[in-house]
Amino acid sequence: MSLQTENPQLGASGAASTRVIAQTSSQIWIRRLTLLAPLWTLLALAIFFAIASPSFSRPNNLSNILTQVATLAIFGTGMTFVLLTGEIDLSIAAIAGLAGMVAAQVHLALELPEPIPTIAALGTATLLGLVSGIVSTRFHIPTFMTTLAMSLIAAGLNIYLSKGRTLTDIPPIAETLGSGRIGGPDGFRVIIVIAVVTLLIGYLILRYTRFGRYIYMTGANRSAARLVGVNTDLILILVLTICGFTAGLAGIVSMGRLGSAQPQGVDDFLIDTIGAVVLGGTALTGGRGGILQTVIGLLLYGTLRNGLDNMPWIDIYLKQFITGVVLLSALVVNLLFSGKRARDKT
């Protein structure tokens, strides 16, 4: 009556299932390639800049691109988690700014030794993400609103803690993470290592854990996830907490790179992060995308920004406008490539 009688069947069809897998793995590859449409956009853009600007493809410049997108990559990892559930986090830039300031003040005013400042900063950021998640799910408030409010709270705390001053005495861990190099002054940048490790952990969680699968389910069809017993509220709380943590980490790294804790966070980070993640192909509606897509989106974004910088004949006052136009076109191209056009017009 129960599982026991099923087991012989399970064993017998082991061979059948292997056959089934072999049959369709080529189809899956084709599907994957179309899903990676942004990859083609990236290649096209890179080739264009390589031809148009001699300085673009120098190794030094390529490593520059990586450094430039490293902070975004850390933000982007958490943002990918949140977007995959179909939610959004508008507080990351403000939380990052606050995290830097907390670390600097714990270091400077309380004179506590490392790693306490860093832990305090990461703890604050994680806690704020957790609060956004709990408030959103408990009271059914859209994350758009809770994280917008959280953004004001974090920015407000930052101003209060800093009293409006920029702090240039930053804790050593942040300095190492943000501007250190491994193996001497010409060595590899630590910030890139941090970004890669963060992305890798994010990738492993999304790809190989049950929690990762629940994230996709929650975003793809929330009622279906609930109907199989997934606690979707818990999933939302967790992804916002993770996003808070990565925002805190990005804040510390960014502070280390700039060499100071600023009373205003860097607001550009929010738009840049969402832009890069969505450009990579992670859907704002949830359920589709992932870290691989985010990596491509980050590289696309970095290539675009850096490539324009490397074309001296472009009016610098036009650069933002061009970035916007190329971004919009890239989004359209991605959609056309992936062959998704809605039939259902409701």
Partner 1 sequence: MNESSIIELKNISKRFLGLQALDHVDFDLREGETHALVGENGAGKSTLMKILSGVYNEYEGEYLLRGQPVHLHSPRNALDRGIGMIHQELSVMAELSVAENLFLGRQPLNRWGAVDWKRMNATAEEELAKLGFPDINVQHPLGEYPLGTQQVVEVLRVMLSGAQVLIMDEPTSALSPAEVERLISLIDTLRQTNRSIIYISHFLDEVLRVADRITVLRDGRKITTVEQQNTNVDELISLILGRELKTATISAPTKPGGSTLLDVSSLTADVFRDISLTVGQGEIVGVYGAIGAGHFDLARAIFGMYTYDSGAITVDGRRFPKNFSATYAIKHGIAYATESRRKSLLMDEAIFRNVTMPHLNRMGAMAPNLKREVEIAQPAVERVNVQPPNAMNTVGKLSGGNQQKVVIARWLAFPPKVFVMSEPTRGMDVGAKREVMNILREFRSQGYGVLVVSSEPETVLDVCDRIIVMSRGDIVAEMANENLNKDILMRLL
Nearer to partner 1, 228 or 316 (CB): 228
Q: Which of 288, 272, 293, 279 is nearest to 332 (CA)?
A: 279
Shortest distance, CB of residue 206 to partner 1, whole angstroms?
9
- Binding residue count for partner 1, defined by CB under 8 A: 40
Write down the least CB distance from residue 21 to partner 1, Å: 6
Site for partner 1 in 250-289 (CB under 8 A): 287-288
Residue 164 or 229 with smaller CB distance to partner 1 = 229
Residue listed under structure tokens 């493809």 = 57
Q: Exactly one of 33, 145, 224, 271 binds partner 1 (CB under 8 A); which one?
A: 224
Q: Is 138 exposed, middle or buried (0-12, 13-18, 19+ CB in 10 A)?
A: exposed
Choose between 213 and 319: whose C-beta lies nearer to partner 1.
213
Which of 11/164 has CB closer to partner 1?
11
Q: Which of 197, 200, 207, 321 binds partner 1 (CB under 8 A)?
A: 207
Closest CA to 152 of 102, 93, 77, 87: 93
Determine which residue in the list 61, 231, 260, 338 makes contact with partner 1, applying CB under 8 A: 231
Whole-number Å distance between alpha carbons of 154 and 244: 11
Q: How many residues does the chain have?
A: 346
Cβ 231 to partner 1 shortest distance, Å: 6
When the beta carbons of 58 and 207 are compared against partner 1, the nearer one is 207
The encoded tokens of residue 70 equal: 């490293």
Residue with tokens 């306490």: 116
Of the candidate residues 14, 113, 156, 259, the single one contacting partner 1 (CB under 8 A) = 14
CA 212 to chain centre: 15
Torsion, Cα 19 23 29 30, to 10 degrees, reads -170
Residue 210, interface with partner 1 (CB under 8 A)? Answer: yes
Q: Which of 3, 30, 316, 342: binder of partner 1 (CB under 8 A)?
A: 3
For the chain, state the CA radius of gyration: 22
Nearest CA to 249 out of 177, 179, 299 is that of 177
In the complex with partner 1, the residue whose CB is nearer, 282 or 310, is 282
Shortest Cβ distance from residue 208 to partner 1 (Å)?
A: 6
Q: Are 58 and 64 in contact (CB under 8 A)?
A: no
Of 220, 284, 311, 326, the one binding partner 1 (CB under 8 A) is 220
Q: What's the longest Cα–Cα distance across the chain?
A: 77
Is the distance from CB of 323 to CB of 304 less than 8 angstroms? yes
Identify which range of 143-151, 213-221, 251-259, 327-335 contacts partner 1 by CB under 8 A: 213-221
* Residue 36: φ, ψ to 5°: -90, 30
Beta bridge mates, 167:
261
Compute the distance between CA of residue 161 and CA of residue 18 in angstroms, rounded to an integer.
60
Q: How far is CA 327 from CA 70, 126, 323, in A?
A: 19, 31, 6
Q: Which of 26, 184, 228, 342 binds partner 1 (CB under 8 A)?
A: 228
Q: Decide: is 226 part of the binding site for partner 1 (CB under 8 A).
A: yes
Q: How far apart are the C-alpha atoms of 303 and 240, rounded to whole Å?
A: 29
Please state the closest distance from residue 222 (CB atom) to partner 1, in A: 9
Where in 283-322 is the site for partner 1 (CB under 8 A)?
287-288
- Name the segment binding partner 1 (CB under 8 A); options: 39-47, 115-123, 183-191, 216-224: 216-224
In the complex with partner 1, the residue whose CB is nearer, 12 or 316, is 12
Binding flags for partner 1, 18-57, as an x/- string (CB under 8 A) = x-xx-xx--xx-----------------------------
**Which pair of tokens denotes residue 136?**
């959103």
Residue 261: strand pairing partners: 167
Positions that interact with partner 1 (CB under 8 A):
1-3, 6, 9-10, 12-14, 16-18, 20-21, 23-24, 27-28, 207-214, 217, 220-221, 223-231, 287-288
